[in-house]
Amino acid sequence: MSPVLFVTGTGTEVGKTVTTAALAALHTAPVAVLKPGQTGLAPGEPGDVDEVARLAGPLVHGVELARYPEPLAPDTAARRSGLPTLAPDEVAKTVADLADRFGAVLVEGAGGLLVRYDEQGRTLADLAAACRLAGVDVEFLLVAAAGLGTLNATALTAEALRHRGLALRGVVVGSWPADPDLAARCNLADLPSAAGAPLLGALPAGAADAPAFRELAASSLAPALGGHWDAEAFATAHRPG
Tell whether the model's pLDDT for residue 6 goes beyond 80.
yes
pLDDT band at 222 (very low <50, low <70, confident <90, very high): very high
For 150-162, write each residue's pLDDT tens digit. 999 999 999 999 9
The C-alpha atoms of residue 17 and residue 35 are separated, in whole angstroms, by 10
The C-alpha atoms of residue 67 and residue 41 are separated, in whole angstroms, by 7
The C-alpha atoms of residue 151 and residue 57 are separated, in whole angstroms, by 33
pLDDT band at 43 (very low <50, low <70, confident <90, very high): confident
Query: Which pLDDT does position 234 carry in this prediction?
Result: 96
CATH number at residue 88: 3.40.50.300
Of 168, 219, 220, nearest to 194 by C-alpha is 168
> What phi and psi, each to the nearest 5 degrees, are found at residue 201?
165, 165
Tell whether the model's pLDDT for residue 2 goes beyond 80.
no
Could you tell me the residue range of the domain that residue 225 belongs to?
4-237
49 CB-side CA count, 13 A: 24
Name the DSSP letter for residue 241.
-
Average pLDDT, the chain: 95
Mean pLDDT of 6-18: 96
Mean pLDDT of 43-70: 95
**Can you list the alpha helix ranges (DSSP code H) found in 103-230?**
124-133, 150-163, 182-195, 213-220
The C-alpha atoms of residue 30 and residue 47 are separated, in whole angstroms, by 20
Query: Which pLDDT does position 32 carry in this prediction?
Result: 97
The C-alpha atoms of residue 143 and residue 12 are separated, in whole angstroms, by 10
For 94-111, write each residue's pLDDT tens digit. 999 999 999 899 999 998
Query: Which pLDDT does position 214 carry in this prediction?
Result: 96
Residue numbers annotated as active site: 35
Query: Which pLDDT does position 74 carry in this prediction?
Result: 93
Q: How far is CA 45 from CA 22, 48, 51, 154, 167, in A?
A: 22, 10, 11, 31, 34
Mean pLDDT of 1-10: 90
For 57-80, write each residue's pLDDT tens digit. 999 999 999 999 999 999 999 999
Tell whether the model's pLDDT for residue 1 goes beyond 70.
no
Question: Which residues have a Cβ under 8 Å from the Cβ of 232 and sit 6 or more positions away?
Answer: none
The C-alpha atoms of residue 143 and residue 181 are separated, in whole angstroms, by 19
Query: Which pLDDT does position 103 carry in this prediction?
Result: 83
Percent residues over pLDDT 70 in the chain: 100
For 167-218, write each residue's pLDDT tens digit. 999 999 999 999 999 999 999 999 999 999 999 999 999 999 999 999 999 9
Provide the CA 216 distance to its chain's centre, in angstroms: 17
Query: Which pLDDT does position 42 carry in this prediction?
Result: 87
The C-alpha atoms of residue 124 and residue 21 are separated, in whole angstroms, by 19
Tell whether the model's pLDDT for residue 232 goes beyond 90.
yes
The C-alpha atoms of residue 134 and residue 156 are separated, in whole angstroms, by 27
The C-alpha atoms of residue 188 and residue 190 are separated, in whole angstroms, by 6
What's the domain count of the chain? 1
